Amino acid sequence: MPRQAKRPQGSESGALLDIRNLRIEATVYPPGEDPRDIVIVDDVSLTLTKGKVLGLIGESGAGKSTIGLSSMGYGRGGVRITGGQVILNGRDILKGGQKGFRQLRGREVCYVAQSAAAAFNPAHRLMRQVIEASLKHGVFSRAEAEKRAIALFKELSLPDPEHIGDRYPHQVSGGQLQRVMTAMALCSKPDLIVFDEPTTALDVTTQIDVLAAIKKAIRDTGVAALYITHDLAVVAQVADDIMVLRHGKKVEKGDTRQIIKEPREQYTGALVSVHEIPHEEHKPAEPILSVKNVTAAYGGGQVKVLKNVSVDLSAGQTLAVVGESGSGKSTLARAITGLLPPMEGSIVFDGRPLPPRLGDRKKNDLRELQMIYQMADVAMNPRQTVGTIIGRPIQFYFGLKGRKRDEMVRELLDKIEMGSGFFDRYPAELSGGQKQRVCIARALAAKPKLIICDEVTSALDPLVANGILKLLLNLQQEENVAYLFITHDLATVKSIADSIAVMYRGSVVRYGPRSEVLTPPFDAYTDLLLSSVPEMEIGWLEKAISGRRMESAGN
Amino acid sequence: MLDIRRIPPTALLGIIITALYILVAIFTPWIAPYSDTAVVGDVWAPGSAAHWLGTDNLGRDLLTRLLYGARITLFIAALATALSFTLGASLGFTAAVVGGWFDELLSRFIDLIMSIPTLIFALVVLSVLPADTLILILVMGILDSTRVFRISRAVAVDINVMDFVEAAKLRGEGKLWIIFREILPNALSPLVAELGLRFIFAILFLSALSFLGLGVQPPASDWGGMVKENKDGIVFGVPAALLPAAAISILAISVNLVADWILNRTTDLKGGRGNA
Amino acid sequence: MKSPLLKLVAQRVGLSVILLFAVSLLIFVGTQILPGDVAQSILGQSATPEAVANLRESLGLNQPAYLRYLEWLGGLLTGHLGNALSNGLPIGPELWQRLKNTLFLAFWAAAISVPLSTVLGLIAVRHKNGFIDKMISATTLLTISLPDFFIGYLLIYFVAVKLGWFTSVSTVFDGMPFLQRMNAIVLPATALTLVVLAQMMRMTRAAILNVMQSAYVETAQLKGLSQFEIIWHHAFPNSIAPIINVIMLNLAYLVVGVVVIEVIFVYPGMGQYLVDHVAKRDVPVVQDCGLIFAAVYIGLNMLADIFAILSNPRLRHPK
């Protein structure tokens, strides 16, 4: 492959990337309607100088990934660039056609995807994939490319850098794979790298390592980057400038300090203070739920996922159970609901012991213990209307029918701040936040004493999640209902919990009132967990990394 | 909701032709110009004003035979499909919801039956059973119910693990509510498409059996049997055997067009951007 | 490194053997323990009681069923397939001859259809939603809707009768010269190819398209690779397993399709043999043929699974 003869460094303005009035559209095919075009990105302009990092932030549907990929002339899922210019190294790449795109992809601009596990070809060894673009574009010989790859593996502090390239993608952990993908992007010495939510799929304690590795690699190689994420605290650690996007339009752009300290727009301000929810911690009182020495396992006792777990939850209060994936926190919920009967231990609810198996529990036990799920999409029958979904528990538990039931459904719809106009809607016609509200109403319809909330805000955008949390707290005051709040998101926990249980590999490692749990001295794992939660503060990353006592599980 | 203008023209054509076949099958005795067993002319006479499509190997009116063939073929295929669906779907759903040893046992048994090609199994069984329409329907229906079992179980298992079903279980709902109110409404579209495919399969299967002389017994004749009766004419250049074969093909294509459309509609309903 | 892979393959082979025994039992039960008197139903209602009694004796129906099953199974394992009821001759030699003919026909049908369908499937993916792709979808719909005998008789009517290129009856016999034999099977092999081709193409296309939609293909696109390099280096290695699976399943289908095609072309293969003896209610022949068909079918399915195991990088390179 011939090396590109001439690559003018920067345009007259000195910008590496200059996107002007970008407009991107896509055709959607709504069921039962004619296909129509929608605008995904509307009149967005940005410039990026050599060696700088620009953060693109916004909630889902803000068009941030689409903008990032437009710098490579790529439209995912049939989106079309219908207006504006994308000027890279002084030329408008949109005029270059497919051949032009192929020459710049992998050479001038490289891409790091959210899920490296899916982005690597399972059939080939990592090294082959890492150096593929360099060979294709004739940047290096094979030997040179492999040498550079190994150097990059070292730079990104991957274990065994000499040989990790001989492995297949499935033989490497998620956090490592994400760093290998960063090495792959850096290998051909591009001018620009597009990072598309590179740490979102990782556990919080792994995220911090990957983030630090990416930041170091960017600094040492002097590459420019577009860093796309929905998490303002994360992007504040790596970006020089930040652009806030919403519904495909620019909200505001500024340097990182200005955005997080002095936001000009109300929307940005809301994003900055998204985790601040006023909530007074309650003192422990009479427990509504007591989990005593519960041990549970899958596969007939083969795989122990809960080990001797004991926690209490006071009536009308919130117990947050935090931990990373595999910590057993969701299994605890399954044990309490009776879906996974514990092998040992007991569960006392409202003063009476609960039968371990779901099938043996009384209707009243079931009624008083409700559950809300992470994915509201699949937690509702898509063939039932909102009225049916919320009305069913009322009919099932209280035997109310017809107008009386519908009346109660309408009251509940008002309570979740949606209104009775939603009575005849189907779940597919609701937004993510509305769906979760309907699920909350369905749980409340049973007039429960305890609701298990399993990662109820994890799938939602930060502002929507914030609204749901506030609603839950209000409802708790009105109905005096207790929450068992399962989450991996410590920021949420800090704002709404009365007491906290930290779980690690099936055991509770720290448990008590919120103020005590969050006050030092910490055990090693709690320390790691707490110190890994990104804070909206420049320089937090370096401080956190230097202060750590324990290696994260993802390594 | 369903709007006739939104049905693609191919599917519409399929619906119209299928409906036409069904009407013909129902009203055969009133439409047919002759009696289906009456010898009315020479052997393999070419088409004429009296006999539009000519006559068959015994000198019977070919058009009349074709119309009666439609009646017999559709009748048997419809009953066999009804049997395979009732049996397969109810067992499949029950296996998915009940789970445990019941599911395991039934699934392994179905695997076993399906490890013998359907046609071969039918031939083996028919070699000892009396040649009888009822037996034919039973054999076809039971053998084909294995496929319906597999697909309905797979669909139901997929739905059964969804959170809304778990929510219903946690609420304390009974098995019947879960099957009929939570799972069935969501399984309907793929099953309706499958119904079309099973119906075509039943027609093709019946035709093959009759062609091999093991299906409908003379003098009554379905389309496959008509092919068998008239196949010797082909070497003399008499295309009489091709007509019933073409009749099967047109019906099969029509039903396929409808089933394709229903399947596509199902994937559309799940959201996504179609095939952008 | 290799042992877990070997273990999986061994397990799969073991499963097939167990399945084969279960199938033999099922076939035996299907022909022997059905309601009513087998001898009576073989001879028909008009048979004299003596004739029925004689047949019962010669079928060994007076012995308990499990003994008869063991006897049959023992015979099969030692190569004794028993005697036919209709003419009293041993089944073995006849069946062997017919099986060879059938495999000969199926082999050539597969030799044409497998490469052809793979190439056409690749072309369809390369020009997705283009003219060729649309043509392929249309012919698929056509051929899955046509009964096998329609394809066969269309060929006979137009190619053999109207054009006079080949004979409509595919006679083959022992010691026939190779070219003559090939000439005799042109029409049935073509018919068989047409029966499986479209389905194979469609499944190949679906298998590759499925891979083309994965994230690693997007990664390859974002490296600036050409469409050809993407298909060849990234899509194809991951499509081999599903494509081989498609081929095996269709070969299994071909084994069944051969029954009807043999009858149409009066080809002296095992399908023809089976159908004749079903009509004669010759139970021993039917049992043997049924079991051999099932064995081929099970064997091909087993091969498909084994290829899938062998080509899976996760299994080949365990953690």
- At A433, list the tokens: 């936040």
- Degrees, nearest 5: CA angle A166-A170-A172: 65
Tell me C266's DSSP state: T
Residue B73: the pLDDT is 86
Of A66-70, A180-184, C73-77, the poorest mean pLDDT is in: C73-77
Q: What is the dihedral of CA A130, A136, A140, A144, to 10 degrees?
A: 40
Q: Which helix (DSSP H) or strand (DSSP E) does residue C288 occupy?
A: helix C283-310
Q: Which residue has the higher pLDDT, A368 or C195?
A: A368
Residue B176: the pLDDT is 87
Residues A526-545 have a mean pLDDT of 86
Sequence-ordered alpha helix ranges (H) in A288-446: 329-337, 363-368, 376-379, 386-398, 402-415, 432-445
Is residue A226's pLDDT more than 90? yes
Three-state DSSP at A38 gives strand
Mean pLDDT estimate for chain B: 81
Residue A11: the pLDDT is 43
Based on C-alpha coordinates, what's the Rg of chain A? 26
Is residue C46's pLDDT more than 50? yes
| Domains, chain A, ordered by start | 17-272 (3.40.50.300), 287-519 (3.40.50.300)
Residues A50-62 have a mean pLDDT of 88
**Rounded CA separation A151/A127 (Å):** 12
Q: Which residue has the higher pLDDT, B273 or C283?
A: C283
Is residue A92's pLDDT more than 80? yes
**Rounded CA separation B182/B171 (Å):** 13
**pLDDT grade, residue B266 (50/70/90)?**
low
Alpha-carbon torsion (A174, A176, A180, A181), positive or negative: positive
Is residue A549's pLDDT more than 70? no
Tell me the β-bridge partners of A63: none
Contacts of C236 in chain A (CB under 8 A): none
Based on C-alpha coordinates, what's the Rg of chain C? 24
Do the bridges between strand A344-349 and strand A318-322 make them parallel or antiparallel, or are there none, so unpaired? unpaired
Is residue B64's pLDDT more than 60? yes
For residue C229, give every residue at least 6 positions away whose Cβ sits within 8 Å of its Cβ, in sequence order, or none.
A136, C220
Task: Please name the chains neighbouring B, where neighbouring means 3+ C-beta pairs under 8 angstroms.
Answer: A, C
Write the residue in A106, A113, A118 that is nearest to C223 by C-beta: A106
* B185–A26 C-beta distance less than 8 A: no
Burial of A265 (0-12, 13-18, 19+ CB in 10 A): middle
Tell me the β-bridge partners of A48: A17
Contact between residue B65 and residue B226 where contact means Cβ atoms under 8 Å apart: yes
Among B200, B168, B234, B238, residue whose Cα is nearest residue B80: B200
At the topology level, CATH places domain B60-271 in MetI-like fold (1.10.3720)
Distance set, CA A384 to CA A380, B192, C267 (Å): 8, 20, 58
Is residue C163's pLDDT more than 80? no
- At C38, list the tokens: 């087998």
Tell me the β-bridge partners of A88: A17, A91
Residues B34-46 have a mean pLDDT of 72
Is residue C173's pLDDT more than 80? no
Q: pLDDT (tens digit, 9 = 90+) per residue, C222-275?
A: 998 988 888 888 888 888 888 888 788 788 778 778 888 888 888 888 888 888
Is residue C196's pLDDT more than 90? no
Q: pLDDT (tens digit, 9 = 90+) per residue, B197-217?
A: 888 889 888 888 888 888 787
Residues B12-19 have a mean pLDDT of 88
Q: pLDDT (tens digit, 9 = 90+) per residue, A265-321?
A: 988 988 888 777 888 888 888 889 999 999 988 876 777 888 899 999 998 899 999
Q: pLDDT (tens digit, 9 = 90+) per residue, C84-142?
A: 777 777 787 888 888 888 888 888 888 888 888 888 888 887 777 778 778 877 887 88
Contact between residue A431 and residue A386 where contact means Cβ atoms under 8 Å apart: no
**pLDDT grade, residue B72 (50/70/90)?**
confident
Residues A510-534 have a mean pLDDT of 88
Residue A56: the pLDDT is 93
**Rounded CA separation C280/C271 (Å):** 14
Q: pLDDT (tens digit, 9 = 90+) per residue, C49-80?
A: 777 777 777 766 677 778 888 888 888 888 77
**pLDDT grade, residue A32 (50/70/90)?**
low
**Looking up tokens 């994890």, which residue turns up?**
A458
Residue A194: the pLDDT is 93
Residues A376-393 have a mean pLDDT of 90
* A74–C221 C-beta distance less than 8 A: yes
Distance set, CA A165 to CA A125, A276, C215 (Å): 7, 44, 20
Residue A12: the pLDDT is 47
Residue C241: the pLDDT is 81
**Rounded CA separation C100/C105 (Å):** 9
What are the φ and ψ backbone dihedral angles of A462, each rounded to 5 degrees? -50, -45
Q: In angstroms, what separates the C-alpha of A414 from chain B's closest C-alpha?
A: 23
| Domains, chain C, ordered by start | 99-283 (1.10.3720.10)
**Rounded CA separation A344/A356 (Å):** 10
Interface test with C, best of B119, B128, B263 (most C CBs within 10 A): B128
Tell me the β-bridge partners of A349: A289, A352
Of A530-534, B41-45, C146-150, the poorest mean pLDDT is in: B41-45
Three-state DSSP at A47 gives strand
Mean pLDDT estimate for chain A: 87
Three-state DSSP at A167 gives coil
Write the residue in A77, A337, A363 that is nearest to B273 by C-beta: A77
- Degrees, nearest 5: CA angle A442-A445-A447: 130
Contacts of C313 in chain A (CB under 8 A): 122-123, 168, 170
Contact between residue C198 and residue C143 where contact means Cβ atoms under 8 Å apart: yes
Q: In angstroms, what separates the C-alpha of A383 from chain B's closest C-alpha?
A: 7
Residue C59: the pLDDT is 67
- pLDDT over 70, % of chain C: 91
Burial of A438 (0-12, 13-18, 19+ CB in 10 A): buried
Sheet containing strand A109-112, strands side by side: A109-112, A192-196, A224-229, A53-57, A241-246, A249-255
In C22-32, which positions are buried (b, 16+ CB within 10 angstroms) versus exposed (e)? bbbebbbebbb
Q: pLDDT (tens digit, 9 = 90+) per residue, A197-216?
A: 888 888 888 888 888 888 98
**Looking up tokens 């919403």, which residue turns up?**
A246
Three-state DSSP at C60 gives coil
Interface test with A, best of B164, B188, B270 (most A CBs within 10 A): B164
**Rounded CA separation C182/C187 (Å):** 10
- Degrees, nearest 5: CA angle A81-A83-A86: 75
Residue C297: the pLDDT is 86
For residue B6, give every residue at least 6 positions away whose Cβ sits within 8 Å of its Cβ, in sequence order, or none.
A32
Domain residue ranges of chain B, discontinuous segments joined by +:
60-271
Q: Which amino acid appears at position A377 of this protein? A: D
Q: Which residue has the higher pLDDT, B189 or B2?
A: B189
* C216–A119 C-beta distance less than 8 A: yes
**Rounded CA separation C73/A133 (Å):** 61
Residue in A closest to B161 by C-alpha: A378
Mean pLDDT estimate for chain C: 81
Residue A552: the pLDDT is 57
Residue A325: the pLDDT is 81
Is residue A389's pLDDT more than 90? yes
In A350-359, which positions are buried (b, 16+ CB within 10 angstroms) versus exposed (e)? beeebebebe
**Rounded CA separation B49/A437 (Å):** 73
Q: pLDDT (tens digit, 9 = 90+) per residue, C126-135?
A: 777 778 778 8
Contacts of B181 in chain A (CB under 8 A): 381
For residue A356, give every residue at least 6 positions away whose Cβ sits within 8 Å of its Cβ, in sequence order, or none.
A338, A341, A342, A347
Give the up-direction half-sphere exposure of residue A110: CA atoms within 13 A in the CB hemisphere: 23
* B204–C147 C-beta distance less than 8 A: yes
Is residue B274's pLDDT more than 50? no
Residue A551: the pLDDT is 60
**Rounded CA separation C28/B125 (Å):** 10
Q: In angstroms, what separates the C-alpha of B250 from chain C's closest C-alpha?
A: 8
Q: Which amino acid appears at position C252 of this protein? A: A
**pLDDT grade, residue A555 (50/70/90)?**
very low
**Rounded CA separation B142/B202 (Å):** 11
**In chain C, what is the straight-line distance between the N-terminal and C-terminal CA atoms, in Å?**
10
In A293-330, which positions are buried (b, 16+ CB within 10 angstroms) versus exposed (e)? ebbbbeeeeeebbbbebebbbbebbbbbbbbbeebbbb
Q: Which residue has the higher pLDDT, A183 or C252?
A: A183
* Chain A interface includes C317 (CB < 8 A): yes
Q: Which amino acid appears at position A442 of this protein? A: R
Three-state DSSP at A523 gives coil
Is residue C43's pLDDT more than 80? no
Q: Which helix (DSSP H) or strand (DSSP E) does residue B84 occupy?
A: helix B62-98
Contacts of B169 in chain A (CB under 8 A): 339, 358
**Rounded CA separation A161/A152 (Å):** 8
What are the φ and ψ backbone dihedral angles of B172, each rounded to 5 degrees? 105, 15
